[in-house]
């Protein structure tokens, strides 16, 4: 039983961190180091633009060519969905095309905190 | 920064490397696997039917192809921006581009394997997305290029765990190494010091 509780706590940890609020300044550094190859806040490039992504329905930008899988998804980008996406996009939306994983929970929380500032 | 124009000494050589590298996505023959992957990118059903390349790997390759398109156009923009290079050193007109990946496939109608190759956009789209109008100096060009190279290195490193094919994961590693090489040259030209910590890239 104790082991189950520990596992449950570990599973819940990333989301809890994201909800607790990360370091947006460090998130920006990560963004400009790792995400910038494909994404920009204000322009659709290899990936879609990110301004306004927090709270937006996934796959909903009319002027970006999403995968069928993401275009057909039905969820909103929030702390939980962004954390799951950054952890393993394919696990959240099978058939999507990003396939870039952010392994560290703290990095994901910081990235999400930065994405929230892009309003 | 040296007295040599960055267009001639840095941007053009990297641009040439990038052009050659995109061919890697297009030219079958490295291995059976990559040939199949490239066939998928080209939308060729008969070749793409091979079970050796998963749909996920195809999607990742397609994103990589998009990155290559952007990189080539970014360097073209860089080469056309900033102060002019020495007379005779600068090419007239755009750098010739290799034929599109899809053109190698005899049957472009069959693009049902999730393998529709990402199309190259018009240069103006890349210029707008990359804020090319703000590139006023060699330093601006090199700074943008360094930023993109670092991002690309991290992007290629970041997708390695997602590849089902170890061969393609290795290709991603090799591409990342290329990007780091480019970034190092650019950082050096910008007189940036090397990172103090180990494991700078990919994390």
pLDDT at B32: 33
Cα–Cα distances in Å, from A113 out to A41, A43, A78, A79, A110?
Answer: 14, 20, 11, 9, 5
B150 to chain A, any CB pair closer than 8 A? The answer is yes
**Cβ pair B62:A97 closer than 8 A:** yes
Closest CA to B173 of B202, B130, B144: B202
Q: Which residue is closest to B118 within chain A, CA to CA?
A: A46
What DSSP string describes B9-48? IIIHHHHHHHHHHHHHHH-TTS-HHHHHHHHHHTT-HHHH
Q: pLDDT digits over B56-84, tens only?
A: 888 888 888 888 888 888 888 888 875 54
Q: Dihedrals φ, ψ of B56, to 5°?
A: -60, -40
Chain position carrying tokens 């190092």: B184
How much is the ipTM here?
0.76
Q: Dihedrals φ, ψ of B3, to 5°?
A: -75, -20
Instruction: Please tell me the distance in Å from A2's CA to the nearest CA on chain B.
Output: 32
Residue B76, Cβ density class (10 Å: 0-12 exposed, 13-18 middle, ≥19 buried): buried
Q: pLDDT digits over B18-62, tens only?
A: 666 655 554 333 333 344 454 444 444 544 444 567 888 888 888
pLDDT over 80 (residue B10): no
Chain position carrying tokens 């939306």: A93
Please state the pTM of the whole predicted model.
Answer: 0.73
DSSP state of A32: I
- pLDDT top residue among B90 and B158: B158
Name the 3-class secondary structure at B165: coil
Q: Which residues of B touch A95 (CB under 8 A)?
A: 55, 59, 114
What does the mean pLDDT of chain B come to?
70
Nearest to B63 among A32, A33, A97 (CB): A97
Q: Dihedrals φ, ψ of A15, to 5°?
A: -65, -40
- pLDDT top residue among B16 and B175: B175
Let me know: does B29 contact B40? Beta carbons within 8 Å.
Answer: no
């Amino acid at each position: 039983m104790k082991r189950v509780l520990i596992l449950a706590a570990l599973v819940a940890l990333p989301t809890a961190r994201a909800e607790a609020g990360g370091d947006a300044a460090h998130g920006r550094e990560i963004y400009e180091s790792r995400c910038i190859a494909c994404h920009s806040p204000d322009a659709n490039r290899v990936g879609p633009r990110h301004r306004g992504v927090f709270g937006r329905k996934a796959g909903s930008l009319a002027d970006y060519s999403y995968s069928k899988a993401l275009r057909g998804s039905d969820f909103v980008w929030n702390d939980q969905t962004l954390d799951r996406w950054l952890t393993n996009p394919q696990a959240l939306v099978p058939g999507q095309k990003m396939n870039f994983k952010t392994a560290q929970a703290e990095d994901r929380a910081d990235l999400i905190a930065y994405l929230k500032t892009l309003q | 920064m040296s007295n040599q124009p960055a267009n001639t000494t840095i941007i053009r050589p990297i641009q040439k490397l990038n052009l050659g590298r995109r061919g890697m996505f297009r030219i079958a023959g490295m291995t059976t696997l990559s040939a199949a992957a490239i066939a998928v990118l080209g939308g060729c059903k008969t070749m793409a039917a091979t079970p050796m390349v998963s749909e996920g790997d195809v999607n990742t390759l397609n994103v990589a192809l998009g990155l290559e398109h952007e990189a080539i156009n970014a360097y073209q923009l860089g080469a056309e921006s900033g102060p002019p290079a020495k007379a005779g050193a600068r090419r007239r007109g755009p750098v010739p581009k290799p034929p599109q990946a899809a053109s190698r496939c005899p049957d472009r109608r069959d693009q049902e394997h999730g393998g529709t190759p990402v199309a190259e956009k018009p240069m103006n789209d890349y210029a707008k997305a990359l804020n090319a109008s703000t590139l006023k100096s060699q330093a601006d060009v090199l700074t943008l290029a360094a930023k993109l190279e670092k991002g690309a290195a991290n992007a290629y490193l970041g997708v390695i765990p997602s590849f089902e094919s170890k061969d393609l994961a290795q290709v991603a590693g090799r591409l990342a190494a290329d990007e780091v090489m480019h970034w190092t040259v650019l950082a050096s030209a910008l007189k940036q010091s090397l990172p103090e910590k180990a494991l700078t890239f990919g994390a």
